[in-house]
Each structure stands twice: as C-alpha cells, then as structure tokens.
Amino acid sequence: MILENRTAVVYGAGGRIGGAVAKGLAAEGARCFLVGPRPGPLDAVAAEIRAAGGQVETAVVDVFDGAAVDDHADATARRAGLVDISVGEPGVPEAPGGDRITARFLTTRAVARHMTRQGSGVILFPGVPDVAAGAAAVEALRRRWEHALGPYAVRVVALPVAGVPLAELGRTAASLAAGPAPSTPSPVRQRFEMEQSPMTQYFLTLPHDTADEPTMESMQDMDPAELEAVMAAVEKFNTDLNEAGAFVTAGGLEPPSTAITVETTSAGPRRTPEPFVKADQYVGGFWIIEAADQEAALVWAEQCSAALQSRVEVRALQSAPE
C-alpha cells in the first residue's frame, strides 16, 4: 500500500468528491480523518471505509470557522503524531465563490502549520469544475501556497476533478499524495524527527591526574603546535555536536585543590577546603550530550577521546519517572 502509515485529513468528506477521495486514500493504507458539516454523510463514508478494512475517524467541523478548523487540525496532529496529507474542501455547491476560497484558505492554513513544523506533507487542491471564475481563484490560491510551502518540502498539488469518474478520482488522489519519494529528508524534517525521538542525556567526563592539575594557565606551557591541534580538534568535535543537535553543555573544572566540601550535620553546616573523595584522578572536564541510545553516545565519546587523546567515561543521566 503506497500510503501505509500516513495520516490524511479530508475536508468535505461527506460529499461526492471528498468521499471518493477519502475512500481512495484509505484503500492505499492511509489513516483518514474525515471532516464535514453534517454527521450523516460522514458516517456513511466512514462505514464503507471500515467495511473495506480501512482506518477512519470523523468530526463535524464548520470549515468557515477558522478557530474550529485549527482546533481540529491540532487535535489530529496530537492524536496521530503527523499530518501527512490534506485534501482541501471541494466547496459547497450553494455557497458563493468567495466562500469556497475562504474554506480552502482556512483548511490549508490549519494543516500547513503542522506540515511546515514537521518538514513534509502533501496538500491536494481539488478543482472546482462548475464555476470557471471559482476554478481560477482556487488555482491562484494553490500557486500561492505552493510558493510559500515549497521551502519546507510541503507539496501543494492540483487534483483534477472535471470529467474524472469518482472511482478513478480516488486512485488519482492516492497516487498524487504518494508522490515521488525524496532522496533525503529535508533539514526541517530531520530536525523534527530528532525532536520526536526519545533522547537520553549522557555525561561524558575526562580524567586528569591530580599530580598535573592542569589549568588554563598551565596549558600555555604546552608545545604551541600540540596545543593548537588539540584546540582545533575540540572545536571540530563541538561543531559536529551542535550541527547534529546533540550538544547540551560542556565545561572544564578547576583543579581539586580549589574544592570545598559542604556537609550539613546536627551541629549545622560544615565547610571543608578539600575534595570529598581522595583519589589519584579527578574529573577535569565534561560534556552533556543527547543521543538516541548508548551506542550513539559511545560513538560520540570515541570522537571526543580522539580529539583530546584521553580516556572518556560515559554514563547516562537518569530519566524522570513516568
């Protein structure tokens, strides 16, 4: 099925055109959210889709009410995770041409907010065959949205209606919605997928010998060429982390001779000018990064180790209890 695991919002799904499109999308595996002004026609289309084994939900929404349209699109995105496909309101036969444009604008705007955020999507614009002036206005609106949404990898495609049998219309809609598969996800899409993936924070720590106690001042005693190479490697590592969206924070610590241990007892707080643990080595610096799993964190740690020519300890931060 060419639309498996896709979510489709079909406006005007209780009508002949909207219903045919909804059934065509569902037949190819799309999970359809049907929208219309009256429950009866929507329920009839939904019943046919369910009987054929499709996934479908319905909602009665006034497509001329911008707030209601936005609320429905928001609820759909929360429920389904993504809004992959939208089919514009074909228009109400008795409505004046201006209202057709209003409905098409409001429904497109509602789904476009989610598609631009996720960096992908297809919006189908059914033609308006019965009113020539209305058809021209709808096509002009489609072109404007196509220009505005193109940079976000959102396609806005005309769906021919005139002279197309209803059964064929559904198949055409599904084919247009599937479209050509992009060679690589858009940068917006990659960022969205990273935000949606469960990420764990990892603590990368660097050991230093207590005998050395390196400081920013003592680093100036290093061979200039060696120091420059290390600084360049660290800068590249930080740049790679930032570009991948994995960087959280990083820093270097002053030597343990500067440590003060604080302890509160029954007699009150006590401050002791020494580390709370005596050791041959101590943590000299750290990174906190985000990674999808431990293996990804270890790959980052390997790059860190290579940059600093040092051992790196990797530990996950505990997640908050659900």
Distance in angstroms (rounded) separating the CA atoms of residues 111 and 81? 13
**What's the confidence (pLDDT) of residue 181?**
54
Q: Is the pLDDT of residue 126 over 70?
A: yes
- Residue-level pLDDT at 93: 47
Give the confidence band of 222 by pLDDT, cuts at 50, 70, 90.
low
With beta carbons less than 8 A apart as the criterion, state whether 54 and 34 touch.
Answer: no
Position 214 scores a pLDDT of: 53
Q: Residue 200 forms beta bridges with which residues?
A: 291
The two structure tokens encoding residue 282: 């101590």
In this prediction, residue 24 has a pLDDT band, given cuts at 50, 70 and 90, of very high
pLDDT, position 97:
46
pLDDT of residue 188: 56
Q: What is the mean pLDDT of residues 3-23?
A: 93
In the predicted model, is pLDDT for residue 91 greater than 80?
no
Q: What's the pLDDT at 206?
A: 87
pLDDT value at 216 more than 60: no
Instruction: Assess whether pLDDT exceeds 80 at residue 198.
Output: no
Q: Name the 3-class secondary structure at 222.
A: coil
What is the greatest pairwise CA distance in the chain?
Answer: 90
Q: Do the Cβ atoms of 76 and 83 come closer than 8 Å?
A: yes
- pLDDT higher than 70, residue 184: no
Q: What percent helix, strand, coil does the chain show, rounded to 5?
A: 45, 25, 30
Residue 66: closest CA among 125, 9, 110, 19: 110
For the chain, where are the alpha helices, taking DSSP H only?
16-27, 39-51, 66-80, 97-118, 132-149, 166-178, 187-196, 224-243, 294-308
Mean pLDDT (the chain) is 84
pLDDT in tens, 29-52: 999 999 999 999 999 999 999 999
For the record, the structure tokens of 216 come out as: 């920013």
Q: Which pLDDT score is estimated for 151?
A: 87
Q: Is 130 helix (H, G, I), strand (E, B) or coil?
A: coil
pLDDT at 130: 53
State how far the alpha carbon of 54 is from the alpha carbons of 2, 23, 91, in Å.
14, 9, 25
Q: With helix as H, strand as E and coil as C, how does 2-18 read?
A: CCCCCEEEEECCCCHHH
Average pLDDT over residues 142-158: 91
**With 80 as the cut, is the pLDDT of residue 156 above it?**
yes
Domains plus CATH for the chain? 7-190 (3.40.50.720), 197-316 (3.30.70.1060)
* CB hemisphere CA count around 316 (13 angstroms): 13
Weakest mean pLDDT among 8-17, 39-48, 210-219, 295-304:
210-219
Residue 196 scores a pLDDT above 70: no
Whether the CB-CB separation of 228 and 219 falls below 8 Å is answered with no
Alpha-carbon span 234 to 252, nearest angstrom: 12
The two tokens of residue 225 are: 């060429």
For residue 190, what pLDDT is reported? 58
Q: What is the mean pLDDT of residues 192-209?
A: 74
Tell me which H or E stretch contains 252.
strand 247-252
Amino acid identity at 314: V
Percent of the chain with pLDDT over 70: 84
Mean local confidence (pLDDT), 125-136:
68
Confidence of residue 195 (pLDDT cuts 50, 70, 90): low
Residue 118: per-residue pLDDT: 87
| Region of poorest pLDDT, from 11-15, 143-147, 159-163 | 159-163
User: What type of residue sits at position 220?
Assistant: Q
